Structures are given as C-alpha cells and as structure tokens.
Chain A
Amino acid sequence: MNRKFLVAIFAVLLVGIGACTTASRPDLTGMSFSSEPLLGKVVWHDLITEDIDTAQKFYTGLFGWTFENSNGARGENYLLARNNNVYVAGMVEVDAAQDGNKYSRWLPYISVADVDMAASSAVAAGGKIAGEAQNVNIGRVAAIVDPQGAVIGLVRSNIGDPDDTTTAAEPGRAVWNELLANDPASAAVFYSSLAGYDTHTIPRRGGEYTVLSNNGTQRSGIFKNPAEEDYTPIWITAFGVVDPVAAAAKAESLGGSIILPVSPQFRDGTTALITDPSGAILVLQQWSWNGEES
C-alpha cells in the first residue's frame, strides 16, 4: 500500500514537471538579459484588453506575432506574444466595464531598482497607485498614475532586463514609448526622479520634445499633448513597421481604426496613429532598423 502511494506521488511529480517543461515554460533561448537592471528602460509591454481573442487575431495579422498561454497576476487569461524568437509583449483580458468607460490600453513597464520604493516615491510626488506592488512571473511589479494622470508600470525583474540587443528595433517590436503630457516640464521632473533619467529638451518639428535617457541611452520621450486644452495624459507605445501606410491599412482591415493617417505633416510621413479593435491606442512607426527613427 505504501509502495503504491509512493509510486503515485512520483507519477504526479513526473507529470507536473513534464507539463511544465513542455507547455508552460517560456523558451528564452532567443533572448539575453542584463546582469543588472537597465534602470529607466521600458522592458515589457502588456496589452490590457476587453477582447483578448480579437486582439490575438489582430496582432497576429498585423505583426505576425505568435502566442503562448500563461497566467496573469490574479489568474486572468494571459497570453505571451512572440516576435520570431523574442517575447515582446503580453495580453491580459479584463471584463468589459458596465460604466461605459474603456479600459483597453497598452501599458509599458519601466525598470526600476526597487518597485515598492518607486511606487511610494511616486505617491509622495502626487501620483496614485493603479496596481499594488506584487510578485508575478517576471519579478515584482506595480503600476502608478503619475501626477498628471498617465498610467505607467514599474518592474524589477528576477532574471535581469532584456538587453538592448534583444530588444533592438525590428518590425513588430516596440521601438519607442512617449508620454503625451499636459505639462511636459513637470512630467520630466517627475520621471527623472522616478527612474533616474537624464532629461534633454530639444526643438523638434516646430515644438519641443524631451528625451529621457539613462547612461547615455535614449529610453523614451515626452511632448505636449497636441490639443490646446488639457486631457488625461497617456503613455503611447510605437511599434516598428516597414511601411506605415500599408500597416495602417492592414490594421483597419483587421478591425482597427486609424486616428491619424500617414501624412507629410504628421512626423514627416513616418507614422500612423491607430487603435486596435478594442480601442487600445498604438503608433505604427517606420524605423530605419539602424537605431534611428526614419
């Protein structure tokens, strides 16, 4: 009897390990990671969506991503997206709200040294907590609302951050993140304090653009929201495409919407601003693939 019991226990063990290694364990062989956190770098993007099935079809058609099932922070339906051999994003499903508000968004995660301390300092500086600090697959994470209202994620990875070679700009990968702020100057001060950025404001296309850098590497940007009046600021993620006109048309054919089409007046014809079928905003950005925006 005891012997049978032991055999049964070991059988469960073997089945568990087998299922783990063949179905659920991410294959990271195509990625390399830094030994130390790349502070200030956006190291992960999650799509929070009210329709994960439609989102999966949309991004498969638009970028050619493939997907693997994983587990969300609280057991939600969660997918990992791969662009060739690199994990580039996640998709977490939320219930459609009954209050008429839309919750679908791309959420970038900035690497910080200490998630809890960064979240506390954000609150002390006038921000709010959007997602309590917690342990998840990648490590420890939280999300905050900055003092002007934009939501951003914070992460400290257990295995180091994907290095700049792994995340080098390619079609179908996030190539840039930028904040549309009502007050870019105060936003720059806030994020500089949050993630240790060096800030550099430059004249660009008739206005000003603030670049957030860390150790000489440009990580993201801030500019004044394009309206005359104040709106809730938002972080927007740009994904690399070869041909933004064709990509925007493809997005539209897959159920997305074009907010701003490609035009010479809009960032020299390199950019389209779209939403996916559930309303999440993203930029389609032509990239020269040598590290420079086209």
Chain B
Amino acid sequence: MKKTNRASALFALLLTSLSLAACDGNVGIGMSVGVPVGNHGYMSVGGTRWH
C-alpha cells in the first residue's frame, strides 16, 4: 500500500512539473543582447540616400 501511494505521489509530481514546464508556451523569445545601439543620428542625413 505504501509503495502504491509513493508511486502515485511521484507520478503526480512528475505530471505537475511537466504541466508547469509547458506553461512557458511556444512562441516568443525574450533574450536580451548587451550590445549598445550606438548613435544613429546619421540616418537623418537625407531620405534621398535611402535606396
């Protein structure tokens, strides 16, 4: 009886872990990159150069 209860508890914990892991979903990334953007004021030099 004790073995059955223990197995059931472990199974339930496993299912809980799996279900919560799946909560993260399957779209989206959310990774940060630590690279400064820099000064892009040059872009305003004139629309004629935007080919």
In the complex, chain B residues whose CB is within 8 Å of the CB of A206: 48, 51
Q: Can you name 25 A-B pairs with beta carbons within 8 Å?
A: A6-B8, A6-B9, A6-B12, A12-B16, A13-B19, A16-B23, A24-B25, A25-B22, A28-B26, A44-B29, A72-B31, A73-B30, A78-B30, A102-B36, A134-B31, A137-B24, A137-B29, A138-B28, A158-B26, A226-B50, A227-B43, A232-B37, A259-B40, A265-B48, A266-B50
B31 near A141 with CB under 8 A, answer yes
Docked complex Cα distance between A152 and B16 (Å): 36
Q: Give how many B residues have a beta carbon under 8 Å from the other chain's beta carbons.
A: 41
A223 near B24 with CB under 8 A, answer no
Which one of A87-95, A116-124, A185-193, A246-254 is at the B interface?
A: A87-95
B51 near A208 with CB under 8 A, answer yes
The answer to whether residues A70 and B2 also contact, given A94-B32, A153-B31, A224-B51 and a CB cut-off of 8 A, is no
CB distance from A179 to the nearest CB of B (A): 13
**Which residue from chain B places its CB closest to the CB of A263 in the assembled complex?**
B47
CB distance from A235 to the nearest CB of B (A): 11
A279 near B28 with CB under 8 A, answer no
A226 near B43 with CB under 8 A, answer yes
In the complex, chain B residues whose CB is within 8 Å of the CB of A72: 30-32
Docked complex Cα distance between A274 and B41 (Å): 11
Q: Give the tally of cross-chain contacts (CB within 8 A).
A: 197
Beyond the given pairs A205-B48, A280-B37, 14 more chain A to chain B contacts, judged by CB atoms under 8 angstroms and listed by A's residue number, are A2-B2, A5-B5, A6-B12, A16-B19, A70-B24, A72-B32, A131-B32, A137-B26, A138-B28, A139-B26, A151-B35, A226-B45, A227-B45, A263-B47
**Which residue from chain A places its CB closest to the CB of B30 in the assembled complex?**
A72
Residue of A266, A280, A281 touching B48 (CB-CB under 8 A): A266
Residue of A137, A226, A232 touching B30 (CB-CB under 8 A): A137
Task: Answer yes or no: A216 CB below 8 A from chain B CBs.
Answer: no
In the complex, chain B residues whose CB is within 8 Å of the CB of A109: 29
In the complex, chain B residues whose CB is within 8 Å of the CB of A209: 51
